[in-house]
Amino acid sequence: MPGRQPYPCAMISFLQRLFGPDPTPLARTDADLALAALLVRVARTDGLYAFEEVERIDRVLMARHGFGSLEAAALRAEAEKVEAEAPDNIRFTRVLKDAVPLEDRMALAVALWEVALSDGQRDAHEDHELRVLTGLLGLTSVQSAEARQRAMIP
């Protein structure tokens, strides 16, 4: 995978497929972009998009997809554009629910919590946003709390 651009700039097409009136099943790369956009959204929830959060997003993408740093940064950059244009979280989470089996969604919740906690600040708005997102992913509040605890372990 090194040296290859995994996600060509197709933000308009992605947003049209994601938020169009007749949503169709999306490709795996769309689910990857949806997750990356949610990670960015979580990082921006408290109004501060800190370096630590950007770094954590890239590490999550590298670990999840086997990317090198350049590929992860390219996907994050695309996700930043998508996140800025997307009106809500519901369709992002729907794409992920369709693409990721329930038993694997805990890893998504842990990744979301890792990003939220990576700047070293707990924010009530972030906590609320994460509880909503994990619920939209089909996880319980207990599972969300467990994901938060896992994310806090270095």
Rounded to whole angstroms, how far apart are CA atoms 43 and 90?
17
**Model confidence at 8: pLDDT above 50:** no
Distances in whole angstroms, Cα of residue 138 to Cα of each of 44, 104, 132: 23, 11, 10
Confidence bin at 17 (pLDDT 50/70/90): low
> In the predicted model, what is the mean pLDDT of the chain?
84
What would the pLDDT profile of 24-80 be if each residue is shown by its tens digit? 554 556 788 999 999 999 999 988 899 999 999 999 999 998 999 999 999 999 999
- Indicate the fold that domain 28-152 takes in CATH: TerB-like (1.10.3680)
Rounded to whole angstroms, how far apart are CA atoms 125 and 92?
19
Six-digit token string for 4: 């290859």
**Considering just the CA atoms, what is the radius of gyration of the chain in Å?**
14
Amino acid present at 100? V
Rounded to whole angstroms, how far apart are CA atoms 121 and 126?
10
What would the pLDDT profile of 88-123 be if each residue is shown by its tens digit? 888 789 888 888 898 899 999 999 999 999 988 888
pTM comes to 0.80
Amino acid present at 59? R
